Amino acid sequence: MCRERPCWPSPQEAQKLIDSGYSNRLMYDYWVGDGRTGSDIGIISPAIVGYEGKAAPSWPMGRCTFLTKDDLCELHDKGLKPIEGRVADHTGQLSGLHGEVAFLWNNGYGEGIVKKWKCRCTHCKGE
């Protein structure tokens, strides 16, 4: 999974990554709106290599920035591994997990994290 696409964290886990100094290694991604939401859901997640601090590509596939050259998760031993990576089975099959994690962001708390991360500039001071 980590070689193909970064795993998504819950909003609380994303905040812990930001608080731990990893903001510049995250990216903005999103869940495409469907009948349950009506609009896209913004998500801050570990970045695909080359997309650190940016928006995910339209087809977000690629190696996670936290995957080491030895194919180990840099966040695992620090207790910061996102829920999707902890829960997915060893085949990388997520079933409905990807959508369920996305819906954790569909509230004011998740939206606030996205807004603060996207506005990492001096004029707005993350407000």
- 41-50 confidence digits (pLDDT tens): 999 999 999 9
Specify if 69 maps to a domain.
Answer: yes
Per-residue pLDDT tens digits for 70-112: 999 999 999 999 999 888 755 555 567 888 999 999 999 999 9
pTM for the model: 0.86
Q: Taking Cα atoms as reference points, which of 25, 102, 94 lies closest to residue 66? A: 25
Specify if 54 maps to a domain.
Answer: yes
Domain that residue 91 falls in: 11-118
Specify if 19 maps to a domain.
Answer: yes
Specify if 1 maps to a domain.
Answer: no
Specify if 73 maps to a domain.
Answer: yes
Q: What is the count of structural domains for the chain?
A: 1
CA distance 112 to 117: 8
Question: For the ranges 1-5, 32-36, 71-75, which has the lowest average pLDDT?
Answer: 32-36
Specify if 96 maps to a domain.
Answer: yes
